């Protein structure tokens, strides 16, 4: 099932079928060139003796219009299908991809995909491994694998795993000549191909209605639109993962997060060639969310047109992946410019872009006030084929249906999307956390603080369930290593609210403005010194030591605090003033800095109190008049049971007990 409007699809001419002898010269030549120069550095142009090159394979279109692969002499079949997996989960977990250097060829009319990837893989496990497991979508097939420049035999098993939209993966288990020791690396040169068509098999298998399933799993190769979201949707590049299925709790989503975390810091280069029917040249290519300049040569009825693009880096100036799954989009769209934004829209939706452009203009001054004058890159919004298709975000890209909506709805969408374009940190808790924090602060600006705190409270119970009850029970997910959205989005949003209360808007804004993603990415995770963002917050504020906060809330997962108002004791009353002693305890393991507010009928007095993990404290508060109520925490610090504690004060009776 395709999602392009039927009228548009019918208007697109298909490439005319040609005999098998009419090889698509551009593709055959480019793949042959890859074989010849495989071992040469990419920044050199080696001179080779005549007739030394060997064709690995060539591609052509047969008489039925189907793409066929013809192996060359160098591509001796080394793959052996097996009924059971050969690689182990321990080997899958140990493998870490250090670099990708890829050449990708797409024949859009035939939905065909072919790739050659040069990979560097490291053993991050604690024991030596015998196999390197390499996984791709079950709609793709392994053709050739070389290790350290030599062809190797390999066994291919089909795994049931819902990290791909087909519900299955093709896993090649590459047997090494000698086990790979912990910390050691190996280079592989792999070739694979197949078709990528719409598939929602994994969702349909668990009872999802087909229409809803297809709107969720919309990845495909096509003429007006190609969208490949990567691991968790369609595995178009080599990966290694433990097989997981939908319905097994949060394991699938944790595996997706683990995959992104393990790719953080990996080098990524890609050269793209797209064949398209004459007159249907794509005009936008997005690699890992970044626009890539395209060179286009249109074709004819006999020969397909060719578009090429490349990207040498990703979301970071260092040329390294951040917390993301590599993605690839190619489309025929109409560009519309807006403030800090380019919308690439379908022709029928050009009229709706005005509301989106206005939203970008409306929210930009707000984001400038917090994050700086300019985003680190232009936001790209890509119109999906169907307005009901599920949105997708990566870096400064938002792929979504560009439809009409209220100004309030579009403002909220644009705050989040543009905040990601501003931040673009390699650390998920910063990029995702800041974007969600900006959304809640925008809600506060539009509807008041109570509305923003209601939004926080709506997600607190889910966070409390996910947190360990004690650090000894499990390691949890420190924000620096978080793989689950409940931590790097929800908990991170709370962290920014707490920092805001600790240091003030101006200091937090100054730290966010000064933050340098490239410098942060180059720092070692194990360095004993404070990380860049912690330093920036301390330098911008009067509180020069926030070590306890980052230790409890960012660098380790100590769960949530659990505060109790043990007692409220009137200590003295003189000349209309009352001195109260508020006794607090924290049975959680994370420290909490919370506001304690005493109210009378006429006035209020608030002091901030630090209650250490597993600790108690007595706070004395002087207030004019007769106090009637004490409130501890206002909802900005997430707790296990509740985030607001109200206790009535009765001066003539025994000390009021409250929680």
Of residues 570 and 332, more confidence is placed in 332
Examine the pLDDT at 316 and tell me if it is beyond 70: no
The whole-angstrom distance between residue 545's C-alpha and the CA centroid of its chain comes to 31
Point out the least confidently predicted range of 65-79, 113-127, 453-467: 65-79
State residue 46's pLDDT score: 29
Q: 151 and 208: one domain?
A: yes
Contact call for residues 322 and 395 (beta carbons, < 8 A) = yes
Distance separating alpha carbons of residues 215 and 348, to the nearest angstrom: 19
State residue 571's pLDDT score: 87
> Does a structural domain hold residue 653?
no
Angle between helices 505-514 and 353-371 (to 10 degrees): 100
Q: 546 and 573: one domain?
A: no
Chain segment 225-272, per-residue pLDDT in tens: 999 999 999 999 999 999 999 988 889 999 999 999 999 999 999 999
End-of-domain residue from the set 499, 525, 553: 553
> Nearest 5°: phi and psi at 69?
-115, 130
SS3 441: helix
- What is the rounded average pLDDT of the residues 338-343? 98
- What is the rounded average pLDDT of the residues 309-338? 83
> Does a structural domain hold residue 419?
no
**pLDDT tier at 520, thresholds 50, 70, 90:** confident
- What is the rounded average pLDDT of the residues 388-397? 96
Examine the pLDDT at 590 and tell me if it is beyond 60: yes
- What is the rounded average pLDDT of the residues 371-388? 96
End-of-domain residue from the set 505, 526, 553: 553
Per-residue 3-state assignment (H helix, E strand, C coil) for 44-60: CCCCCCCCCCCCCEEEE
Q: 598 and 549: one domain?
A: no
- What is the rounded average pLDDT of the residues 338-361? 98
Residue 264's closest CA among 112, 426, 398, 125? 426
End-of-domain residue from the set 506, 523, 553: 553
State residue 71's pLDDT score: 43
Contact call for residues 137 and 161 (beta carbons, < 8 A) = no
> Does a structural domain hold residue 380?
no
Q: 261 and 198: one domain?
A: yes
Q: 478 and 597: one domain?
A: no
Q: 609 and 509: one domain?
A: no
> Does a structural domain hold residue 292?
yes
- What is the rounded average pLDDT of the residues 470-496? 93
> Nearest 5°: phi and psi at 563?
-90, 150
> Does a structural domain hold residue 73?
yes
Chain segment 535-564, per-residue pLDDT in tens: 999 999 987 789 999 999 999 999 999 999
**Beta-strand relationship, 305-311 and 57-61:** unpaired
Contact call for residues 178 and 147 (beta carbons, < 8 A) = no
**pLDDT tier at 17, thresholds 50, 70, 90:** very low
Distance separating alpha carbons of residues 388 and 372, to the nearest angstrom: 34
Q: 122 and 203: one domain?
A: yes
The whole-angstrom distance between residue 252's C-alpha and the CA centroid of its chain comes to 14
State residue 25's pLDDT score: 31
Q: 205 and 70: one domain?
A: yes
Distance separating alpha carbons of residues 585 and 588, to the nearest angstrom: 9
Contact call for residues 531 and 523 (beta carbons, < 8 A) = yes
Q: What is the largest CA-CA distance in the chain?
A: 103
Question: Residue 230's domain is classified under what CATH number?
Answer: 2.60.40.1730
Q: 203 and 282: one domain?
A: yes
State residue 472's pLDDT score: 78
Structure token digits, residue 500: 């805001």
The whole-angstrom distance between residue 441's C-alpha and the CA centroid of its chain comes to 22
Scanning 467-504, the segments in alpha helix (DSSP H) are 485, 492-503
Q: 549 and 570: one domain?
A: no
> Does a structural domain hold residue 397?
no
> Does a structural domain hold residue 387?
no
Count CB neighbours of 212 within 10 A.
14
State residue 311's pLDDT score: 84
Handedness of CA 346, 348, 349, 350 (dihedral sign): positive
Specify the pTM.
Answer: 0.85
Distance separating alpha carbons of residues 324 and 320, to the nearest angstrom: 11
> Does a structural domain hold residue 316?
yes
SS3 32: helix
Distance separating alpha carbons of residues 393 and 17, to the nearest angstrom: 37
State residue 362's pLDDT score: 98
* Polymer length of the chain: 659
Q: 285 and 434: one domain?
A: no
Domain that holds residue 596: 563-648
DSSP single-letter state for residue 362: H
Question: Residue 569's domain is classified under what CATH number?
Answer: 2.60.40
The number of distinct structural domains making up the chain is 3
Average pLDDT, the chain: 86
State residue 529's pLDDT score: 54
Distance separating alpha carbons of residues 399 and 331, to the nearest angstrom: 12
State residue 460's pLDDT score: 96
Chain segment 285-295, per-residue pLDDT in tens: 999 999 999 99
SS3 134: strand
Distance separating alpha carbons of residues 254 and 259, to the nearest angstrom: 9
Structure token digits, residue 150: 């030599």
Q: 437 and 543: one domain?
A: yes
State residue 523's pLDDT score: 57
SS3 115: strand
Chain segment 35-89, per-residue pLDDT in tens: 222 323 323 222 323 333 333 344 444 445 444 444 444 444 578 998 899 999 9
Point out the least confidently predicted range of 58-62, 327-331, 348-352, 514-518: 58-62
**pLDDT tier at 657, thresholds 50, 70, 90:** very low
Residue written as token pair 């015998």 = 130
- What is the rounded average pLDDT of the residues 606-622? 96
Residue written as token pair 């078709």 = 195
Of 13-22, 305-314, 565-574, highest mean pLDDT: 565-574
* First-residue to last-residue Cα distance in the chain: 56
- What is the rounded average pLDDT of the residues 356-371? 98
Examine the pLDDT at 21 and tell me if it is beyond 70: no
């Amino acid at each position: 099932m395709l999602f392009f409007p039927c009228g548009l699809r019918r208007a697109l001419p298909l490439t005319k079928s040609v005999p098998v002898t009419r090889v698509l010269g551009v593709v055959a030549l480019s793949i042959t060139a890859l074989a010849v120069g495989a071992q040469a550095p990419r920044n050199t142009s080696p001179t080779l003796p005549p007739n030394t090159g060997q064709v690995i394979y060539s591609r052509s279109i047969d008489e039925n219009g189907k793409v066929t692969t013809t192996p060359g002499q160098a591509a001796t079949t080394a793959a052996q299908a097996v009924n059971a997996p050969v690689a182990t989960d321990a080997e899958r977990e140990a493998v870490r991809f250090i670099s990708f250097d890829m050449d990708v060829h797409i024949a859009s009319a035939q939905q065909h995909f072919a790739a050659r990837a040069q990979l560097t893989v490291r053993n991050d496990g604690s024991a030596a491994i015998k196999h390197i497991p390499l996984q791709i979508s079950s709609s793709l097939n392994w053709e050739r694998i070389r290790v350290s420049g030599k062809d190797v035999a390999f066994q291919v098993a089909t795994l049931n795993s819902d990290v791909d939209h087909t519900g299955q993966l093709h896993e090649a288990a590459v047997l090494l000549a000698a086990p790979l020791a912990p910390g050691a690396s190996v280079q592989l040169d792999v070739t694979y191909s197949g078709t990528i068509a719409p598939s929602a098999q994994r969702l349909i298998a668990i009872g999802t209605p087909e229409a809803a399933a297809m709107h969720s799993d919309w990845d495909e190769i096509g003429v007006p639109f190609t969208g490949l979201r990567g691991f968790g949707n369609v595995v178009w590049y080599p990966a290694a993962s433990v097989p997981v299925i939908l319905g097994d709790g949060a394991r699938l989503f944790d595996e997706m997060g683990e995959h992104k975390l393990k790719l953080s810091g990996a080098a990524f280069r890609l050269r793209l060639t797209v064949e398209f029917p004459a007159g249907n040249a794509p005009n936008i290519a997005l690699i890992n969310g970044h626009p890539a300049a395209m060179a286009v040569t249109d074709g004819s009825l006999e020969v397909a047109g060719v578009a090429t693009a490349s990207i040498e880096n990703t979301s970071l100036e260092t040329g390294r992946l951040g917390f993301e799954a590599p993605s690839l989009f190619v489309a025929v769209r109409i560009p519309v410019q807006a403030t800090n934004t380019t919308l690439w829209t379908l022709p029928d939706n050009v009229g709706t872009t005005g509301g989106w452009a206005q939203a970008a203009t409306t929210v930009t001054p707000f984001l400038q006030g917090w994050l700086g004058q300019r985003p680190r890159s232009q936001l790209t919004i890509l119109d999906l084929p169907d307005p009901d298709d599920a949105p997708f975000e990566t870096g400064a890209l938002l792929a979504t249906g560009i439809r009409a909506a209220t100004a309030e709805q579009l403002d909220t969408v644009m705050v989040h999307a543009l905040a990601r374009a501003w931040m673009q940190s390699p650390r998920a808790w910063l990029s995702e956390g800041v974007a969600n924090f900006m959304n809640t602060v925008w809600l506060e600006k539009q509807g008041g603080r109570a509305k923003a705190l209601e939004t926080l409270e709506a997600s607190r119970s889910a966070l409390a369930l996910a947190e360990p009850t004690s650090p000894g029970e499990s390691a949890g997910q420190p924000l620096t290593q978080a793989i689950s959205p409940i931590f790097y989005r929800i908990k991170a949003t709370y962290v920014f609210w707490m920092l805001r209360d600790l240091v003030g808007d101006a200091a937090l804004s100054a730290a966010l403005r000064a933050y340098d993603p490239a410098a942060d990415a180059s720092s070692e995770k194990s360095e004993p010194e404070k990380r860049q963002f912690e330093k920036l917050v301390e330098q911008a504020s009067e509180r020069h030591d926030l070590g306890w906060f980052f230790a409890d809330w960012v660098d380790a997962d100590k769960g949530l605090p659990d505060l109790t108002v043990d007692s409220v004791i009137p200590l003295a009353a003189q000349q209309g003033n009352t001195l109260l002693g508020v006794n607090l305890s924290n049975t959680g393991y994370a420290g909490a800095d919370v506001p304690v507010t005493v109210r009378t009928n006429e006035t209020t007095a608030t002091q901030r109190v630090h209650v250490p993990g597993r600790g108690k404290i007595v706070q004395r508060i002087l207030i004019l008049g007769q106090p009637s109520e004490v409130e501890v925490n206002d909802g900005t610090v997430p707790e296990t049971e509740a985030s607001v504690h109200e206790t009535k004060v009765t001066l003539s009776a025994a000390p009021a007990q409250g929680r």
